[in-house]
Amino acid sequence: MAQQAQFDLVIIGSGPGGYVAAVRASQLGLKTAVVEKNARLGGVCLNVGCIPSKALLDSSEYYHLARERFAEYGIKTGKVSLDLAAMLARKDKVVEELTENVRKLLEGNNIEIVQGTATINAPGTIEVDTGKKKKTTLAAKNILLATGSAPIEVKGLEFDGKHIVSSTEALSFDTVPKHLGIVGGGYIGLELGSVWNRLGSKVTVIEMLPKIATTLDGQVGRTLDRILKRQGLAFKLNTKVAKATVARGKVRTVLESGDNTEEMSFDRLLVSIGRRPLTRGLGLEELGVETDPKTGQILVDETYRTSVDGIYAIGDLVPGPMLAHKASAEGTAAVECMAGRAGEVNYDTIPAVVYTWPEVASVGLTEEQVREREIPYCVGSFPFSGAGRARCMGETDGFVKLISHGKTDRILGVHIIGPRAADMIAECVLALEFGASSEDISRTIHGHPTFAEALMEAAMNVRKCSIYAS
């Protein structure tokens, strides 16, 4: 085995948590290496998650607009047809460019990139199988685990990569399924369901719980349900897949809802019920790194250190929402803690976004959570149908909902369903971070006409002095 130079930090995984942590470590003067088992850097997010799915969501939305809505804007196109291969090629190009940018970013910060599969033999010692005869050994003062997560596989619904698939394969179907079944009504299933629905699939979402997108504010979730149904998605709630078999190119399923059973046949079945942390093969059990027996997530302290000194973990590996921006924030904080600085993440101000159309974005507490905690509160809302910019674009679905403390007026949560919600939420995150009140938002001048005016109006409505709200 070839012994390499001592590093201050070796990071296993090059996703949004890993590569951001590496750059921050380099900025703080730490000699850093990143180990990545896949040919491309960027992890799940850049390769088979956030980036390719958003590329397809945008492409499919343009296709839908060209077919269904251009005429109302006075644009005549003639017959519009789908070139799925070109759409997928564009998605792949976007991924390739961004992953290459990550490589340049790491190299530009003098971070060593080691291609291979890592195993921690002992605290401070990482063995990397690079595919060559001799394995490479890296020595490090600290090790940061940032290996991300993978789709959960369900017994009886095992992935075959063609008919019963995970979100990875659902990004690259070679043809548009006539009927796509989706097991799970969470963010990933709804986003991919939206893609293939726009491209011509009949989409049926099967969810065990009584509603979709269960983490959303209830009012927002119900609105999203109505809009997606109007777009053509079908939902079977309180329903589970009891059996699935592949025969003659079809996935034949038996669905159970209470005492009732139903058979349905799909061209493809996407199983999207959640993700599990990727910890297998790292050697954590042998090292005694503590994990949650239920979730498999690694337990860490406030500095992201595991139960073993010198080993840290972030992102999907640790408790909390599995979001790329959460992993990036934790990566930065963990490295700053290693360097003796005060790194931390405010988990009360992590935004969440669902990239359906309209988009959904939220930060802070839902109305249900505020009630459960018996916090006195006020609510202000404003529909996008009342916003001039939304009218100009013909995108009037949805609303902004702002929840503030009933006595102090401090903002507790903001929930947006509507156009550009993913971008609008940034102002709300900043407001929560600085402890702003609804009055602070309402007295902040917003450009006109913009979508953000709806947030200002919702804030005004908390105090019952909106100009336009009834």
pLDDT digits (tens, 9 = 90+) for 86-121: 999 999 999 999 999 999 999 999 999 999 999 999
- β 117-122/125-129 pair status: antiparallel
Has residue 155 been placed in a domain? no
| pLDDT recorded at residue 133 | 83
- CA-to-CA distance for 265 and 275, rounded, in angstroms? 25
Has residue 467 been placed in a domain? no
pLDDT tens-digit series, residues 121-168: 999 999 999 988 888 999 999 999 999 999 999 999 999 999 999 999
Asked if pLDDT for residue 450 goes beyond 70, the answer is: yes
Asked if pLDDT for residue 5 goes beyond 70, the answer is: no
Structure token digits, residue 186: 């969470």
Q: What's the rounded mean pLDDT across residues 29-53?
A: 97
Residues 355 and 282 in one domain: no
| pLDDT recorded at residue 465 | 55
Residues 59 and 86 in one domain: yes
Residues 259 and 357 in one domain: no
Query: 325 among the known binding-site residues?
Result: yes
- CA-to-CA distance for 7 and 75, rounded, in angstroms? 59
- Nearest Cα neighbor of 318 from 344, 279, 349 is 279
Residues 181 and 289 in one domain: no
Has residue 204 been placed in a domain? yes
- CA-to-CA distance for 470 and 465, rounded, in angstroms? 10
Q: Residues 6 or more apart from 142 whose CB is under 8 A from it?
A: 8, 9, 10, 310, 311, 312, 338
Query: 189 among the known binding-site residues?
Result: yes
Query: 193 among the known binding-site residues?
Result: no
Query: 323 among the known binding-site residues?
Result: yes
pLDDT tens-digit series, residues 155-180: 999 999 999 999 999 999 999 999 99
Residues 335 and 367 in one domain: no
Query: 116 among the known binding-site residues?
Result: no
- CA-to-CA distance for 360 and 224, rounded, in angstroms? 8
Residues 125 and 221 in one domain: no
| pLDDT recorded at residue 134 | 85
Residues 228 and 243 in one domain: yes
Range of the domain at 268: 164-273
Structure token digits, residue 190: 């709804």
| pLDDT recorded at residue 429 | 98
Has residue 469 been placed in a domain? no
Residue 185 sits in a domain whose CATH number is 3.50.50.60
Residues 281 and 140 in one domain: yes
Has residue 470 been placed in a domain? no
Residues 358 and 445 in one domain: yes
Last residue of some domain: 345, 372, 392? 345
CB 396 within 8 A of CB 384: yes
**Which residues carry out catalysis?**
448
Asked if pLDDT for residue 1 goes beyond 80, the answer is: no
| pLDDT recorded at residue 463 | 79
Tokens 């903002």 correspond to: 411
Residues 51 and 105 in one domain: yes
| pLDDT recorded at residue 4 | 59
pLDDT tens-digit series, residues 350-374: 999 999 999 999 999 999 999 999 9
Residues 187 and 332 in one domain: no
Last residue of some domain: 345, 367, 387? 345
Asked if pLDDT for residue 3 goes beyond 70, the answer is: no
Has residue 369 been placed in a domain? yes
Residues 198 and 315 in one domain: no
Q: What's the rounded mean pLDDT across residues 423-442?
A: 98
Structural domains of the chain, count: 3
CB 277 within 8 A of CB 249: no
In one-letter notation, the amino acid at residue 191 is: E
Last residue of some domain: 273, 307, 328? 273
Has residue 103 been placed in a domain? yes
Q: Quick one: how far is CA 274 from the chain centroid? A: 11
| pLDDT recorded at residue 470 | 43
Query: 199 among the known binding-site residues?
Result: no
Query: 316 among the known binding-site residues?
Result: yes
Query: 149 among the known binding-site residues?
Result: yes
The whole-model pTM stands at: 0.95
Asked if pLDDT for residue 384 goes beyond 80, the answer is: yes
- CA-to-CA distance for 441 and 454, rounded, in angstroms? 11
Has residue 437 been placed in a domain? yes
At residue 201 the predicted structure's pLDDT band, cuts being 50, 70 and 90, is very high
Residue 367 sits in a domain whose CATH number is 3.30.390.30
At residue 48 the predicted structure's pLDDT band, cuts being 50, 70 and 90, is very high
Asked if pLDDT for residue 300 goes beyond 50, the answer is: yes
Query: What share of the chain in percent tops pLDDT 90?
Result: 96
